[in-house]
Structure 1
Amino acid sequence: MSTSESDDKPKTQRRTAVKADDDPKEEKPATQTAQTIEIYPLRSYQDAGEIKRRGGPGYNAPKRHAERLIAAGLATDKKPKA
């Protein structure tokens, strides 16, 4: 193979390394994205097989699911005062 043949091939671009912080599969519990909303239970209810207790800790839920819980009066997106 001569050098002129290798020059005709398209050169590949250098890939940049992905940092661990940029991993979209990694979910951080304290981080809130546009797809999730942190909600706080106002009443006790079962959600995804877990019982969420009135006055319990807040948790992240998918936006549409959280909006349904808020509309039903079961949860709020505002942190209740202790």
Structure 2
Amino acid sequence: MTKNLVRDASGALAFLTDCTLATVRKLAMSKSASKAELVRQVIIAQAGIDSMIQFGVDCSNGRATEVVALGGSVETWAEQFKP
């Protein structure tokens, strides 16, 4: 998802969640990333995913699609990127 697609609060939530998931992926792939920072970002991204589901925000765009397909767990999603 890109910022130019944000048209309302739902779009903003989807955009911010997608950006946070990108950070989670980057940290998970890095051997030198701080474990605490990865955990913090996973928690933030999970709050975004949970809110998207709770408020019926479209999860069919971006990385949220992948997370929802894995049962909605950001931690499970991030595991696949660990070296």
Q: Classify the TM-score, shorter chain.
A: under 0.3
Answer 1 or 2: which has greater strand percent. 1
Larger radius of gyration: 1
Answer 1 or 2: which has greater helix percent. 2
Q: TM-score, normalised by structure 2?
A: 0.26
